[in-house]
Amino acid sequence: MICRIAAKASLMTASPVVQDTHSKTMGYLLWIFGFLGAHRFYYGKPVTGTIWLFTFGLLGIGWLIDLFLIPAMDREADFRFREGPINYSLSWILLTFLGVFGIHRMYMGKWLTGLLYLCTGGLFFIGVLYDFWTLNDQISLRHAEQAPATQR
């Protein structure tokens, strides 16, 4: 009995800790607009997000299927992206509603490009589209740069 408890405890400590980088609640809220691919961009799937954008969620069929796939997409994003001080959900809200003003970039500590976005309308909206494709990776990279050497 004691051996089983000790074995379970050692397995629990040996398993990797899953960080909750993305919110299921935010994913479901974005799913409401999912026929435009918003939830897919949020979970780091820019190619399918773009397909959803141009096909209205694969004519609504893919959009309905995604209702059941969001928990798996959330788990995958939690494993794929690094946790840190920059909140993914807040960054996505700032990008979605204030992207042309560069507020999301300023929040991430990228003041120079944030000011450039502010003066140029998000680099004439092309920069905003680029950020929709790469925001999760930008945040994860920023977290990796800020992590102490022992955590890398």
Question: What pLDDT score was predicted for residue 11?
Answer: 41
pLDDT at position 33 is 77
pLDDT confidence of residue 118: 97
- The answer on pLDDT for 136 being more than 50 is yes
CB atoms within 10 A of CB 14: 7
Which pTM was predicted? 0.79
The answer for 87, left when phi > 0, alpha when psi is -120 to 50, beta otherwise, is beta
* 14-49: pLDDT as tens digits: 446 668 899 999 999 999 877 788 899 999 999 999
Q: Judge whether residue 127 has pLDDT over 80.
A: yes
Would the pLDDT of 8 be above 80? no
For the chain, the maximum distance between any two Cα atoms, rounded to a whole number of angstroms, is: 67
What does the pLDDT look like over 73-118, one tens digit per residue? 999 999 999 999 999 999 999 998 899 999 999 999 999 999 999 9
pLDDT of residue 35: 75
pLDDT of residue 103: 97
Tell whether the model's pLDDT for residue 7 goes beyond 80: no
pLDDT in tens, 61-70: 999 999 999 9
Q: What's 15's DSSP letter?
A: S
Q: What are the angstrom distances between the C-alpha of 57 and each of 23, 31, 47, 133? A: 21, 10, 12, 17
